Amino acid sequence: MHGKGPWWQEKFTQNCVRVTAAREVIINILHDTPDHLSASDIYMKVHVTNPDIGLTTIYRTLELLEQMRIVQKFDFGDGHARYELLNNPGGKGHHHHLICVKCKKIIDYKDFIDEEVNCLGKTQDFLSQKYNFHINDHLVSFYGFCENCKSES
């Protein structure tokens, strides 16, 4: 697989957005992790190989990528925004979340996702009509206590 650059680079050049080292590193980090990283998580990982890249650039890049619909921003309630690669080539597919309210552990799940999305699809159609919305996304999360935390409480 050689030739042109990665899938996301054309999105950049089309919009006069330059391909820079910082942006490349950040996307790679998000691509390689199974976790939901915060800005400073990413900063620390970036810092290992690129100690010249500042936290400000991390924030700016994440906002840019969010607006280009390359990453999605989440707030799980622990005071840090968290980011994950959107459903792009090489990204995770659409999934929902299972969140421990105590230790904040987050599990991506796809079990029953077809049935869920099917059911949500009907709701979406109905809501679009009734409230005259143009719906293009949904979020489903379950909350509770994980294996470790449910025994301690």
Partner DNA sequence: GGATTATTGAAAATGGTTTTCATTACTACA
Partner DNA sequence: TGTAGTAATGAAAACCATTTTCAATAATCC
Q: Which residues contact DNA by CB under 7 A?
A: 13, 16-23, 38-40, 52-57, 59-61, 63, 79-81
Q: Which of these ranges, 4-12, 50-58, 83-91, 104-112, lies near its own copies under the rule CB under 8 A?
A: 104-112
Spacing of C-alpha 131 from chain mean position: 28
108 touches, from DNA, Mn ion, its own copies, none (C-beta below 5 to 8 Å by class): Mn ion
87 touches, from its own copies, DNA, Mn ion, none (C-beta below 5 to 8 Å by class): none
133 touches, from its own copies, Mn ion, Zn ion, none (C-beta below 5 to 8 Å by class): its own copies
Query: By the 8 A CB rule, do 91 and 45 touch?
Result: no
CA distance 43 to 56: 9
What is the DSSP code (8-state) at residue 48?
H
141 belongs to the binding site for its own copies (CB under 8 A) = yes
| Closest listed residue to residue 97, CA positions, set 79, 80, 116 | 116
CA distance 153 to 138: 31
CA distance 124 to 136: 9
Q: Which of these ranges, 16-24, 37-45, 87-95, 135-143, lies near its own copies under the rule CB under 8 A?
A: 135-143
28-87 residues in contact with its own copies (CB under 8 A) are 73, 75, 77
| Closest listed residue to residue 64, CA positions, set 95, 110, 111, 19 | 19
146 touches, from DNA, Mn ion, Zn ion, none (C-beta below 5 to 8 Å by class): Zn ion
Nearest distance from C-beta of residue 24 to its own copies, angstroms: 27
149 touches, from Mn ion, Zn ion, DNA, none (C-beta below 5 to 8 Å by class): Zn ion
CA distance 128 to 17: 34
